[in-house]
Amino acid sequence: MNGSDDSTKHLSSPRTAPHWRSIDDLERTPGYADRIAAEFPEGAMEPGRGIDRRGFLGLMGASLALAGTAGCRRPEEHIVPYVSKPEEITLGIAQRYATTMPRGTENLRLLAHSHEGRPTHIEGNALDGATGGAVDPWASASLLGLYDPDRSRTPLSRGVASSSAAFAGEWAGLHAAALAKQGEGLAVLVEPFASPTLFRLATEFRAAFPKALWAVYDPVSDENIQRGIAQVTGRRLMPVYDFSKADVILSLDADFLGTETRHIENARAFTDRRRIRDGKDTMNRLFLVEPTLSQTATMADARYVVPAGAIGVFAAHVAAALGLQGLAPAALPASVRPDAPRAIAAALSAARGRALVLAGRRQPPEVHALVAAMNDVLGAQGATVSYIEIPKSESSDTASLKALVDAMNAGKVQTLVMLGGNPAYHAPADLGFAQALPGVRTAIHASPHADETSALCAWHIPLHHYLESWGDAVGFDGAPGVIQPLIAPLVDGRSMTEMLALLVTGKDVKGYDAVVATWKTLLPAADFDKDFRTVLHDGLLRVPAPAADIVPVNTGAVAVSMSAALKAAAPGKDALEVVFQLSPCVHDGRYANNGWLQEFPDPVTKLTWDNAAVMSRATADAFGFKNHELIRLSLRGRDIGLPVWIMPGQADYCVTVALGYGRAHGRVAGGVGASAYKLRGSGDADFEGGATLARIRGEHRLACVQDHHGLDAEQMAREGVAERLPMIVREGTLEEYRAHPEFAKERVEEPPLRSMWDDITYKTGHQWGMTIDLNACTGCGACTIACQSENNIPIVGREQVLNGREMHWIRIDRYFSGTVENPTVLAQPVGCQHCEMAPCEQVCPVAATTHDEEGLNVMTYNRCVGTRYCSNNCPYKARRFNFFNYTKDMPETVQMAQNPDVTVRFRGVMEKCTYCTQRINLARIAAKREGRPLKDGDIVAACESACPTQAIVFGDINDPASRVSKMKALDRDYALLGELNVRPRTTYLAKLRNPGTDMKSTNLP
Partner 1 sequence: MSAIIKQHSASPDAAALVADQPLVTGGLDFGGITEKVSGIVERKTPKAWWLAFSLAASVLLMLVGSIGWLVYEGVGIWGLNNPVGWGWDIVNFVFWVGIGHAGTLISAILFLMRQRWRTAINRFAEAMTIVAVICALMFPAIHVGRIWVLHWFFPVPNQMSMWPNFRSPLLWDFFAVGTYFTVSTIFWYVGLIPDLATLRDRAKTRARQIVFGILSLGWRGGNRQWRHYELVYLMLAGLATPLVLSVHSIVSTDFATSLIPGWHTTIFPPYFVAGAIFSGFGMVMTLALIARKIFKLEDIITIGHLEKMNKVMLVTGSMVGYAYISEFFMAWYSGNIYEAFTFVNRAFGNYAWAYWIMFLCNVVTPQLFWFKKIRTSIPVMFVISIFVNIGMWFERFVIIVTSLARDFLPSSWGYYAPSKWDIMIFIGSFGLFFTLFLLFLRFLPMISMTEIKGVMPEADPHAHGHDGHAAEAAGGEA
Question: Is position 704 an interface residue for partner 1 (rule: CB under 8 A)?
Answer: no
Determine the Cα–Cα distance for residues 553 and 936; give it in Å rounded to an integer: 48
DSSP bridge pairs for 418: 189, 445
CB 467 within 8 A of CB 897: no
Considering the complex, what minimum distance in angstroms separates the CB of residue 920 from partner 1? Answer: 24
Considering the complex, what minimum distance in angstroms separates the CB of residue 992 from partner 1? Answer: 21
Question: Is position 813 an interface residue for partner 1 (rule: CB under 8 A)?
Answer: yes
The string of DSSP letters for 354-389 reads SEEEEE-TTS-HHHHHHHHHHHHHTT-BTTTEEEEP
Question: Is position 818 an interface residue for partner 1 (rule: CB under 8 A)?
Answer: no
Query: Which residue type, as a one-letter code, is found at position 12?
Result: S
Describe the crossing of helices 196-208 and 496-505 by its angle, rounded to 10 degrees: 20
Pick 388 or 980: Cβ nearer partner 1: 980
Per CB under 8 A, which region of 50-58, 554-562, 758-766, 902-910 contacts partner 1?
902-910
Question: Is position 747 an interface residue for partner 1 (rule: CB under 8 A)?
Answer: no
Contacts of 27 (CB under 8 A, 6+ apart): none
CB 972 within 8 A of CB 161: no
Classify residue 630 as exposed, middle or buried by CB count within 10 Å of its CB (0-12, 13-18, 19+).
middle
Pick 748 or 926: Cβ nearer partner 1: 748
342-361: contacts with partner 1 (CB under 8 A): none
Pick 868 or 935: Cβ nearer partner 1: 868
- Position among 628, 733, 869, 959 found at the interface with partner 1 (CB under 8 A): 869
Determine the Cα–Cα distance for residues 651 and 820; give it in Å rounded to an integer: 11
The string of DSSP letters for 695-761 reads EEEEE---EESS-SSGGGS-HHHHHHHHHHHHHHS-EEEHHHHHH-TTHHHHTS-PPP---SSPPP-
Question: Is position 839 an interface residue for partner 1 (rule: CB under 8 A)?
Answer: yes
Pick 526 or 756: Cβ nearer partner 1: 756
960-979: contacts with partner 1 (CB under 8 A): 977
Query: Which residue type, as a one-letter code, is found at position 289?
Result: V
Considering the complex, what minimum distance in angstroms separates the CB of residue 851 from partner 1? Answer: 12
Per CB under 8 A, which region of 18-26, 513-521, 538-546, 705-713 contacts partner 1?
705-713
Determine the Cα–Cα distance for residues 247 and 433; give it in Å rounded to an integer: 45
- Position among 426, 814, 834, 993 found at the interface with partner 1 (CB under 8 A): 814
Question: Is position 706 an interface residue for partner 1 (rule: CB under 8 A)?
Answer: yes
Contacts of 725 (CB under 8 A, 6+ apart): 815, 817, 826
- Position among 458, 909, 943, 989 found at the interface with partner 1 (CB under 8 A): 909
Strand 849-851 to 857-859 pairing:
antiparallel
**762-801 footprint of partner 1 as x/- string (CB under 8 A):** --------------------------------------x-
Considering the complex, what minimum distance in angstroms separates the CB of residue 899 from partner 1? Answer: 23
Question: Is position 843 an interface residue for partner 1 (rule: CB under 8 A)?
Answer: yes
Q: Which DSSP state fits 249?
A: E
Pick 355 or 982: Cβ nearer partner 1: 982
Question: Is position 701 an interface residue for partner 1 (rule: CB under 8 A)?
Answer: no
Inter-CA distances, 663 with 144, 449, 657, 668, 862, Å: 18, 12, 15, 9, 40
- Position among 30, 180, 723, 929 found at the interface with partner 1 (CB under 8 A): 723
Q: Alpha carbon 708 to chain centroid distance? A: 26
Considering the complex, what minimum distance in angstroms separates the CB of residue 889 from partner 1? Answer: 13
Give me the numbers of helices (H) and strands (E) for the chain, helices first please: 32, 40
Pick 30 or 751: Cβ nearer partner 1: 751
Pick 407 or 772: Cβ nearer partner 1: 772
Per CB under 8 A, which region of 612-620, 640-648, 761-769, 872-880 contacts partner 1?
872-880
Contacts of 712 (CB under 8 A, 6+ apart): 626, 627, 646
Considering the complex, what minimum distance in angstroms separates the CB of residue 904 from partner 1? Answer: 15
Pick 528 or 906: Cβ nearer partner 1: 906
Per CB under 8 A, which region of 51-59, 644-652, 721-729, 763-771 contacts partner 1?
721-729
Pick 563 or 706: Cβ nearer partner 1: 706
- Torsion angle (degrees, nearest 10) of CA 204, 104, 536, 520: 20
Report the candidate in 612, 957, 954, 977 with the shortest Cα–Cα distance to residue 783. 954
Per CB under 8 A, which region of 75-83, 113-121, 267-275, 838-846 contacts partner 1?
838-846
Question: Is position 846 an interface residue for partner 1 (rule: CB under 8 A)?
Answer: yes
Report the candidate in 564, 512, 560 with the shortest Cα–Cα distance to residue 536. 512
Inter-CA distances, 594 with 140, 468, 615, Å: 11, 17, 27
CA geometry: angle 991, 994, 1000, nearest 5 deg:
125
The string of DSSP letters for 406-417 reads HHHHTT--SEEE
Pick 68 or 710: Cβ nearer partner 1: 710
Question: Is position 844 an interface residue for partner 1 (rule: CB under 8 A)?
Answer: yes
Question: Is position 756 an interface residue for partner 1 (rule: CB under 8 A)?
Answer: no
- End-to-end Cα distance, the chain: 50
Question: Is position 811 an interface residue for partner 1 (rule: CB under 8 A)?
Answer: yes
- Position among 624, 637, 714, 756 found at the interface with partner 1 (CB under 8 A): 714
Per CB under 8 A, which region of 18-26, 230-238, 445-453, 836-844 contacts partner 1?
836-844
Pick 467 or 909: Cβ nearer partner 1: 909
Determine the Cα–Cα distance for residues 58 and 892; give it in Å rounded to an integer: 14
Considering the complex, what minimum distance in angstroms separates the CB of residue 454 from partner 1? Answer: 37
Question: Is position 903 an interface residue for partner 1 (rule: CB under 8 A)?
Answer: no
Determine the Cα–Cα distance for residues 97 and 129; give it in Å rounded to an integer: 17
**381-420 footprint of partner 1 as x/- string (CB under 8 A):** ----------------------------------------
Determine the Cα–Cα distance for residues 18 and 80; give it in Å rounded to an integer: 13
Pick 677 or 876: Cβ nearer partner 1: 876
Question: Is position 479 an interface residue for partner 1 (rule: CB under 8 A)?
Answer: no
Report the candidate in 385, 308, 293, 214 with the shortest Cα–Cα distance to residue 684. 308
Q: How many CA atoms lie within 13 A of 694 on its CB side?
A: 6
Per CB under 8 A, which region of 49-57, 645-653, 691-699, 863-871 contacts partner 1?
863-871
Question: Is position 709 an interface residue for partner 1 (rule: CB under 8 A)?
Answer: yes
Question: Is position 524 an interface residue for partner 1 (rule: CB under 8 A)?
Answer: no
Query: Which residue type, as a one-letter code, is found at position 799?
Result: E
- Position among 754, 764, 847, 931 found at the interface with partner 1 (CB under 8 A): 847
Determine the Cα–Cα distance for residues 609 and 785; give it in Å rounded to an integer: 15
Per CB under 8 A, which region of 176-184, 779-787, 870-878, 892-900 contacts partner 1?
870-878
Pick 623 or 884: Cβ nearer partner 1: 884
Question: Is position 711 an interface residue for partner 1 (rule: CB under 8 A)?
Answer: no
Determine the Cα–Cα distance for residues 452 and 423; give it in Å rounded to an integer: 8
Q: For the chain, how long is the longest CA-to-CA vector?
A: 91
Considering the complex, what minimum distance in angstroms separates the CB of residue 799 from partner 1? Answer: 10
- Position among 72, 93, 172, 725 found at the interface with partner 1 (CB under 8 A): 725
Number of residues that bind partner 1 (CB under 8 A): 59
Inter-CA distances, 304 with 289, 348, 618, Å: 5, 16, 17
Residues that bind partner 1 (CB under 8 A): 706, 708-709, 713-714, 716-717, 720-721, 723-725, 727-728, 800, 803-806, 811, 813-815, 828, 830, 839, 842-847, 863-869, 871-873, 875-877, 880-885, 906-910, 977, 980, 982
